[in-house]
Chains A and B, each alone.
Chain A
Amino acid sequence: QKEVEQNSGPLSVPEGAIASLNCTYSDRGSQSFFWYRQYSGKSPELIMSIYSNGDKEDGRFTAQLNKASQYVSLLIRDSQPSDSATYLCAVTPEGNNRLAFGKGNQVVVIP
């Protein structure tokens, strides 16, 4: 089982709609959870950090964490063409400070 799984294929959403991304992780002891955005040819940019169960909102982004289900999600509201990128879910395994990344989900926002 992979440490972090992002199984959905490319996601196309119309401008103004909500984009929903999901991620599961295998290490039940994980404590820190992140979403990064990576534009083509650029490095990842941290957009959300979440550490406790529930929702965390920052602007148009909402992260949701459910440790019992080992599940992290990201919602992007009012999607804009500038949101078109690959979104990486990342988790810090227990007793470690490195990041375990999912493969990423490509999001395409259609004007």
Chain B
Amino acid sequence: GAVVSQHPSRVICKSGTSVKIECRSLDFQATTMFWYRQFPKKSLMLMATSNEGSKATYEQGVEKDKFLINHASLTLSTLTVTSAHPEDSSFYICSAIRAGTYNEQFFGPGTRLTVL
């Protein structure tokens, strides 16, 4: 199977701090990874597309200076929420496209961020 991990699974932080979330494809290489956010009982919202070795492409309305994305290798992408505020509290989920498939995206287990 195609396994995507995320770390941490849950984080609580104070307002104004920065939080880094890691997304790893464990058993496949992922040239493209995606970052989503989901609020309770709402649909998944795509935040950005992350390609290995290049700058991320952000969706309209997502602040690139607040949500820093780095995709340094074919198996790792990171999302850093800078100067987090309570309104950033959400469920952050990454996904990765398995190379050699027709855009099959496999999702990580998600990171639940709570900003106090």
Contacts and interface: CB of A to CB of B under 8 A. Distances in A.
Contact-size category for B:
10 to 19
Interface stretch (B14-22, B78-86, B107-115): B107-115
Interface string A48-78: 0101000000000000000000000000000
A51 B102 contact: yes
B68 interface: no
Interface string B22-55: 0000000000101000000001101001000000
Interface residues of A, number: 21
B44 A49 contact: no
Nearest to B104: A49
Contacts of A42: 109-110
Nearest to A99: B105
Contacts of B49: 97-98
Contact of A97 (B32, B43, B109, B110): B32
B26 to A, nearest CB: 15
Contact of A44 (B44, B101, B102): B44
A51 B104 CA distance: 11
B43 A31 contact: no
A101 interface: yes
B114 to A, nearest CB: 14
Interface of A: 31-32, 34, 36, 41-46, 49, 51, 88, 90, 92, 97-99, 101, 103-104
18 contacts: A32-B103, A42-B110, A43-B93, A43-B107, A43-B108, A43-B109, A44-B93, A44-B107, A45-B107, A46-B107, A49-B101, A49-B104, A92-B102, A97-B49, A97-B103, A99-B34, A101-B44, A104-B43
